[in-house]
Amino acid sequence: MPSATIKLFLEDAKQGKLKTSNLMCGTAAPTFCQSLITNHYPLLNTLLINFYYTKVMKKILLLEDDEILYETLIDLLEAEGFEVTHVKNGQEALEATFSKRFDVMILDVNVPNINGFELLKELREAGDKTIAIFLTALTDIDSLSQGFNIGADDYIKKPFDFDELLIRIKALLKKQSNSSKVTLGAFSFDFEQEELYKDGKFVKLTPYERQIAKLLFKNIGKSVTKFELFDILNYGEEMSEGALRVHINSLRKIGLPIETLRGIGYRLEDA
């Protein structure tokens, strides 16, 4: 690959202009793309994996049966770097939540099989706390009240402005990421105090372990690359992968369910 092309690729990434389509990989990354690029363009391979797992992995479940609307939303959301799973009825949406973890659910109400209200009610009763936004033509106050009462995070009436939807999605994601405490099974992490607890008892961590745990708890169920970990530890090239593994293993010994993603990084499994 010509150096000028790599330079342009790097500049686009730094400026946030790089989209999923530019990678020419889609959901094939990292398996196909990594095997294709690794031996030929190591710099591009490093950037690709880092970008793919840190920028485009916010997952949205879109429940909408209007073809023109869902096609438009899919195009616009993917252009903003989101990975969109689209379903046309409530039953398909329910099944999708069993097979994949989503960051945001955008739900129409009047859809076949299980309507949006019934779907979210069932998910909330099962303990699913995924951000949920109703996108519906139901504009009456009773429907609005019902939507929030069953656990919606937002309620947007059709017709709507896409920029407004995007602002609301990003605001909810930011609010979630800034939450002061996150719980996973017997563990909880207090982001304000940067402290880990197990069964309500304080767990002493080294400074390195604390920063690793913090990043993993901010991304429960999601991939965290080695590059991100090196970055937050402020050691970059100086810390070896072997040293990183030692810290990861120390966290595993206290019971944290950390999965190794070969050639990529780690993930704190969502129990």
DSSP the chain: --HHHHHHHHHHHHTT---HHHHT-GGGTTHHHHHHHTTT-HHHHHHHHHHHHHHS--EEEEE---HHHHHHHHHHHHHTT-EEEEESSHHHHHHHHHH---SEEEE-SS-SSS-HHHHHHHHHHTT---EEEEEES--SHHHHHHHHHTT-SEEEESS--HHHHHHHHHHHHHHHHT-SEEEETTEEEETTTTEEEETTEEE---HHHHHHHHHHHHTTTSEEEHHHHHHHTT-GGGS-HHHHHHHHHHHHHTT--EEEETTTEEEE---
Between strands 59-63 and 104-107, the pairing is parallel
Mean pLDDT of 136-146: 93
Examine the pLDDT at 167 and tell me if it is beyond 90. Answer: yes
Residue 17 confidence class, pLDDT cut points 50, 70, 90: very low
Examine the pLDDT at 244 and tell me if it is beyond 70. Answer: yes
CA distance 157 to 164: 11
- Among 19-33, 93-107, 181-195, 207-221, the minimum mean pLDDT is found in 19-33
Decide if 33 contacts 48 (C-beta within 8 A). yes
Examine the pLDDT at 21 and tell me if it is beyond 60. Answer: no
Percent of the chain with pLDDT over 70: 75
Mean pLDDT of 220-244: 75
- Among 42-51, 54-63, 102-111, 189-198, the minimum mean pLDDT is found in 42-51
As a CATH number, domain 181-268 is: 1.10.10.10
Token representation of residue 148: 């929030």
The whole-model pTM stands at 0.56
Examine the pLDDT at 43 and tell me if it is beyond 60. Answer: no
Mean pLDDT of 10-39: 44
Model pLDDT, residue 219: 81
As a CATH number, domain 62-177 is: 3.40.50.2300
Decide if 114 contacts 91 (C-beta within 8 A). yes
Mean pLDDT of 18-42: 44
Examine the pLDDT at 88 and tell me if it is beyond 50. Answer: yes
Token representation of residue 269: 């499994």
Q: Return the C-alpha torsion angle 62, 131, 203, 245, nearest 10.
A: 20
Domain boundaries, the chain: 3-55, 62-177, 181-268
Residue 75 confidence class, pLDDT cut points 50, 70, 90: very high
Token representation of residue 8: 């342009």
Mean pLDDT of the chain: 79
